[in-house]
Structure 1
Amino acid sequence: MPTPDNTRWVILAGGQASRMGGNDKGLIPLASRTLIEHVIDRLKPQTSAISINANRNKERYSHFGFVFGDNIQDYPGPLGGMHAALHQYPDSEWIGFVPCDCPQLPVDLVARMSRACNADTDIAVAHDGEHIQPVVTLLNRRILPKLEQFLAAGDRKIILLYRQCNMVTVDFSDQPDAFINLNTPEELEQFGQAL
């Protein structure tokens, strides 16, 4: 069973950020710090096992922790980062993921996600009360063969893979603003003004 002590967490920063004008989202400044620093600040009190999945600017990301890239070319999206992490950490049964553009993640994310899993759980996914947050997830490595088959078929839609697995949702309806993600310069500016 997953616990905060036996789970590994990966910040996904490997995308193309096309809606952010192609700028590397994790390195974009928000309130004098980069977005990924805000995410690390949220995760660090919860777990010491944090690494970063990035496909660009690896040297800059390495200032914040261990960095590894996708094994699959052409930016397959969050699933590419999940696939890479399962290969990077073959001894980790449970690996959690968060996006690099969610600066207000719950302060009890790791504990709550871990508690939601049972022996049959393949994937635990955060739910904000209205929608699932498919990139905020804790998964069991047993899904790797299914994930590889899914990617080999050219599929990229994360929720389609989840539907093939034993998925549980984790209720964070008490913290709906924790999953605000910043995809565009306008969203970033608006969020920064509210800080």
Structure 2
Amino acid sequence: MKAPLGVILAGGQATRMGGGDKGLLPLGDSLIIEHVVERLTPQVEEIALNANGDPERFEFLGLPVLPDSVGGFVGPLGGVLAGLDWAAERGATHIVTAAADTPYFPGDLVPALLAAAEAQGHPIALARTENGRHPTFGLWPVDLRDDLRAALLGGMRKVVLWTDSHGTAYADFPSGRFDPFFNVNTPEDLAAARGILEDS
């Protein structure tokens, strides 16, 4: 199978960081979202960014910016749907999503998700560690986009409720020194992320 397209989910409201875009916070010599782009780029065919509001704030990345296609703040599934619609226009069969505030996710995320979906015989694959499921890191087939749109319009908001209704494969990743899907939600998390970078 051809490499899937990548979609970075940056649509969160960042309430615990006082609002604004967590991905635009500095981490080392760059921004958190630049770390995400750098990790995802070699694993996918091309990348888009799901974000709402003024797209110009992400112009420096040189990526297409996809707003949610379902009104209201519907959470990560809205970003998944926007990515699936974009992928359908490009003739792709799958996307892989990554969160914009998770700078240290695995460099083998995409091949591991693809392998899990094939081995376990499910259309959707999510990342998992000993800390639980990480539903913003997943493999999503374009064929399910109309089903997802209907679910969102019907009030579905929880990622795992929708994925479980279709069968979900899991790609398991070791945590090691820290969970690779550690994300920046609070100022304390940002300090921890900077500490990880300094120690690496």
TM-score (norm 2): 0.88
Mapped contact 1:54–1:67 kept (Cα < 8 A): yes
State the distance in 1 between where 2:167 and 2:111 align: 20
Which amino acid is 2:106 matched to? P
State the distance in 2 between where 1:86 and 1:109 align: 18
Residue 26 of structure 1: how far off its partner (Å): 1.4
Aligned CA distance change for structure 1 residues 56 and 35 (closer, same or farther; 3 Å): farther
Counterpart of 2:165 in structure 1 is 164
Classify the secondary structure of the residue corresponding to 1:117: helix
Which amino acid is 1:188 matched to? L
Residue 37 of structure 1: how far off its partner (Å): 0.2
Counterpart of 1:107 in structure 2 is 107
State the distance in 2 between where 1:127 and 1:25 align: 22
- Structure 1: stretches of 5+ with no match in the other structure: none
Mapped contact 1:24–1:56 kept (Cα < 8 A): no
Classify the secondary structure of the residue corresponding to 1:133: strand
Alignment of 1:73-84 (within 5 A): 73-84=71-82
Counterpart of 1:46 in structure 2 is 43
State the distance in 2 between where 1:174 and 1:16 align: 27
Which amino acid is 1:49 matched to? E
Residue 190 of structure 1: how far off its partner (Å): 2.8
Which amino acid is 1:75 matched to? F
Of all paired residues, the percent bearing the same amino acid is: 38
Residue 174 of structure 1: how far off its partner (Å): 5.5
Mapped contact 2:27–2:194 kept (Cα < 8 A): yes
Classify the secondary structure of the residue corresponding to 1:62: helix
Counterpart of 1:60 in structure 2 is 57
State the distance in 1 between where 2:131 and 2:175 align: 11
The CA RMSD over aligned residues, in Å, is 1.8
Q: Any idea what the Cα deviations from partners look like across 1:45-104, whole Å, max 9, x if unmatched?
A: 223411111113411313212211111222211100011111122122111101001100
Equivalent residue in structure 1 for 2:29, among 18, 32, 45? 32
Moved more, 142-151 or 19-28: 142-151
Aligned CA distance change for structure 1 residues 89 and 48 (closer, same or farther; 3 Å): closer
Mapped contact 2:51–2:68 kept (Cα < 8 A): yes
Counterpart of 1:88 in structure 2 is 86
- Structure 2: stretches of 5+ with no match in the other structure: none
Q: Any idea what the Cα deviations from partners look like across 1:97-126, whole Å, max 9, x if unmatched?
A: 010011001011111111222295221000
Residue 171 of structure 1: how far off its partner (Å): 1.1
TM-score (norm 1): 0.90
Counterpart of 2:9 in structure 1 is 12
Residue 153 of structure 1: how far off its partner (Å): 1.5
Mapped contact 1:12–1:81 kept (Cα < 8 A): yes
Mapped contact 1:10–1:53 kept (Cα < 8 A): yes
Aligned CA distance change for structure 1 residues 89 and 46 (closer, same or farther; 3 Å): closer
